[in-house]
Structure 1
Amino acid sequence: MSSSIRKVAIVGIQASGGLGHLVIDQLLKSSIQVTAVTRDAPKTKASLKAAPNLNLIQGDYTSAASLAPCLRGHDAVVSLILRGQPDPQILVIDATIIADVPHMITSSFGIDLQQEYLRTLPPFKGKVQMGDYVAQKASEGLITFNSIQTGIFFGWGLSLGMMINLKDDGLPSVLFDAGETKFSVSAEEDIATAVAVALGKKDKLPMNCSLFIHTAAVSQNQLREYAKESRPEREFPVTLVDTAKEEKKAWEAYNNGERDISKMGGLMSRGTFGLGLGLFKHLDSDVLGIEERDEEWLKAFIARYM
């Protein structure tokens, strides 16, 4: 780790585990002092392993001013606040600035929202606002930041059946545009590694920009073939979906005032699968210590979710 980063506050730790716990594990392997800021300290404490350089505190998220004392004295903040709405994100950015913490990694994990089409989609409105806000604050010299774009969280996506249905329930997988489009996925362990390395190499990385990683570039058909190879006795039925038609239906629903996220799936599937914007063309994986995985690794990973 760089000597400039000795104390890190992680905001948005979930008691149930997830990425935050993996990030903490990675940072604790170094000499970094980690402060985990959570809404429910007793519940979160039960899910974390005690460590000499780990401090767990309960944060007040009602305002930036009330959260700032939890962050003061740290060299960096890692935000893992849920990414759907801009207000909590902006609150954390403001709290970081109030606390005079010079650097942060924003909660921007996902797809590349510099793509113009993706920036126009209602489901990403909050994330776009947050990204524009922190960039503005950086341009004013109030903070530096990096975001780490990861594509789809691989394990999470498999567990939810987003890319392929791995459950033995007879239900079909939805294949978008015949399932041939490649997209970026990142294993949660790799995401945590990238966060830790980005902090450790802060002085050697470009600032105030996104860094891109992925564990692999895969297609839905590829994942389905790996699943069939792992469980040859099972059927893996499919339903084919035209993303252009789904995009049209989603916009019609939106323009009719139906703003529920379940109605917006056609927009995200069009961007990710139909237009291929879910595949990163440029990667910073090497500098962030992420190795692109081979077929055998992918097959073993998928088998864990079956």
Structure 2
Amino acid sequence: MVSKVAVAGATGNIGLPIVQQLVAAKFDVVVLSRSENPSGLPAGVTIRKVDYESIESLTAALQGVDAVVSAVGSAALAGQIKIIDAAVAAGVKRFLPSEFGNDTEHPAVRALPVFGPKIAVQEHLKKVAAESSLTYTFVVTAGFLDWGLQAGFLLGPLKERKAEIYDDGSQEFSATTIATIGRGIASVLQHLDETKNRTVYFHEAVVSQAKILSIAKELTPGETWAVTESKSAALKARADEKLAKGIFDAEVAVSLIKYSIFGPGFDPVLRKLDNELLGIKTISDDELRAIVKSAL
């Protein structure tokens, strides 16, 4: 049984909803933070200041913790190795690394360099789990539906009535709201045996760029939309050009992640779903419309 959960990256775009849902599920939440007073967190959480570069500091902070959920951003993915090693030293039962997006079990996804740090963390966790009492769960939820629309990642700057669609926009993909990602993580920690040492999959909807754009246009009658039609292959070519020069920057990362959603050969609709186990329901058309409306 898990009662005390530590969260790394707790104030980020995905970290905060995770903390909120863990609190709502009555877990005792410990926030690992470089700051003594991180802002925006719900009442009732415990703050433990840590040095993420120090296994000793992390081990001390993880004393008495049953599970660790990492929601660190891309720049800090490799640093999870130290958190994992500290979790082993502190006797933590379960570790959930920062995943929550693409299915990194898929060979085509694994081949993209942008996912290399996540895969390295997975392999380290598998090795550690074979040698210690620490267990793991990899959580795959595909695209972040509400955040992805609001940030312009999935379709473009919708508030400006602009959209960019790739390969006619018909490619379907799974998507999940960030609050539901948090609820799913809480449920994973309530189903330890069923989720032990494996990848867990859930989503709320199967959508496409074309479907979202159609809804957006229906919700903005009489307004003019500027729609750019692009090729997903251009995303890969743009990234490859920079990578050939030894450049790996945010543009490369974003291009490759978009390519893995909108490009061919990645099977972005999740099939092996754990929705029923975790109590995650898919959303209705009206709920999808409301999510799109909130981004307009």
SS in 1 for 2:207: strand
C-alpha distance after superposition, 1:164-221 (max 9, x if no partner) = 2353435x42111110000111101110100111101113x13111101111010000
SS in 2 for 1:259: coil
Give the aligned partner of residue 190 of structure 2.
200
Give the aligned partner of residue 303 of structure 1.
293
Measured at CA, do residues 56 and 85 of structure 1 come closer, stay the same or move farther in structure 2, by a change above 3 Å? closer
| C-alpha contact (below 8 Å) 2:140/2:202 kept by paired residues | yes
TM value normalised by structure 1: 0.89
Aligned residues, how many? Answer: 295
SS in 2 for 1:278: coil
Distance 1:62 1:98 in 2: 15
| C-alpha contact (below 8 Å) 1:243/1:266 kept by paired residues | no
Give the aligned partner of residue 239 of structure 1.
228
Measured at CA, do residues 30 and 239 of structure 1 come closer, stay the same or move farther in structure 2, by a change above 3 Å? closer
Distance 1:55 1:84 in 2: 25
Give the superposition deviation at 1:139: 2.2
Measured at CA, do residues 263 and 201 of structure 1 come closer, stay the same or move farther in structure 2, by a change above 3 Å? closer
Does 2:177 correspond to 1:187?
yes
| C-alpha contact (below 8 Å) 1:85/1:126 kept by paired residues | no
Distance 1:103 1:255 in 2: 39
SS in 1 for 2:275: coil
Give the superposition deviation at 1:140: 2.2
Give the superposition deviation at 1:38: 1.5
Measured at CA, do residues 194 and 222 of structure 1 come closer, stay the same or move farther in structure 2, by a change above 3 Å? same
Give the aligned partner of residue 80 of structure 1.
71
Give the aligned partner of residue 177 of structure 1.
167
Give the superposition deviation at 1:237: 2.1
Give the aligned partner of residue 278 of structure 2.
288
C-alpha distance after superposition, 1:95-115 (max 9, x if no partner) = 111111121111111101111
Instruction: Map residues 221-300 of structure 1 onto 2, 5 A cutoff.
Output: 221-275=210-264, 276-300=266-290
Letter matched to residue 34 of structure 2: R
Distance 1:263 1:138 in 2: 32
| C-alpha contact (below 8 Å) 2:81/2:124 kept by paired residues | yes
The equivalent position to 1:26 in structure 2, one of 16, 21, 27, is 21
Letter matched to residue 276 of structure 2: D
Distance 1:30 1:177 in 2: 41
Give the superposition deviation at 1:283: 1.1
- Aligned-pair identity in percent equals 28
C-alpha distance after superposition, 1:8-61 (max 9, x if no partner) = 1112222xx6433322332223443221221223133xx23323xx32222221
Q: Structure 2: where are the runs of 5+ without partners?
A: none
Distance 1:201 1:55 in 2: 24
Distance 2:52 2:184 in 1: 26
Q: Which moved more, 1:155-164 or 1:288-297?
A: 155-164
Letter matched to residue 148 of structure 2: G
Give the aligned partner of residue 124 of structure 1.
115
SS in 1 for 2:241: helix
Letter matched to residue 64 of structure 1: I
| C-alpha contact (below 8 Å) 2:77/2:117 kept by paired residues | yes
| C-alpha contact (below 8 Å) 2:10/2:71 kept by paired residues | yes
Q: Structure 1: where are the runs of 5+ without partners?
A: none
| C-alpha contact (below 8 Å) 1:85/1:127 kept by paired residues | no
Instruction: Map residues 29-68 of structure 1 onto 2, 5 A cutoff.
Output: 29-44=24-39, 47-51=40-44, 54-68=45-59
Measured at CA, do residues 268 and 20 of structure 1 come closer, stay the same or move farther in structure 2, by a change above 3 Å? closer
Give the aligned partner of residue 135 of structure 2.
144
Distance 2:230 2:158 in 1: 20
RMSD: 1.9
Letter matched to residue 40 of structure 1: S
| C-alpha contact (below 8 Å) 1:84/1:124 kept by paired residues | no
Letter matched to residue 243 of structure 2: Y
TM value normalised by structure 2: 0.92
